[in-house]
Amino acid sequence: MILSDEKQLGSAIQTYPASGAMVLLPLTPSTNYTATILMCGGQNINNWTLSPGFMNQVVSTDCVRITPDEGGGWSEDAGLPEGRTMGNFILLPDGKIFLTNGAQQGAFFVFRFYFFDGG
């Protein structure tokens, strides 16, 4: 598996410094305790040369998930309501996912937060 292949990851870079939010979804009997990782957001950086516009790249609303124990194939998921990079997912006890922190462009922080259904 090649993690940097854009065909597998959608349109966004998912690693620092252009990272998207990531979370391991709950391991439950209904999923046979199969690990699934959800990744959302990130930036679409094609040129990593340091320049004044480097950190002002457009952020992504894309979400993808991977289930490594079942072949490691990527699948598209529902997108974010708005683009976000360097966000944080927090898995809540009721199975919902809380998205907080991050930026929409460069260092312009986002102060809105969202809840997602982890299913």
The reported pLDDT for the residue numbered 96 is 86
DSSP class of residue 8 equals H
For residues 106 and 62, the model is more confident at 62
d(CA 6, CA 56): 20
Q: Which residues touch 94 (CB under 8 Å, ≥6 apart)?
A: none
The yes-or-no verdict on residue 29 having pLDDT over 90 is: yes
Average pLDDT over the chain, rounded to an integer: 75
- As given in the structure block, the two tokens for residue 41 are 């957001």
pLDDT of residue 19: 80
Q: CA-CA distance, 88 to 98, in Å (whole number)?
A: 8
pLDDT at 109 over 80: no
Contacts of 64 (CB under 8 A, 6+ apart): 9, 10, 14, 38, 39, 40, 74, 75, 76, 77
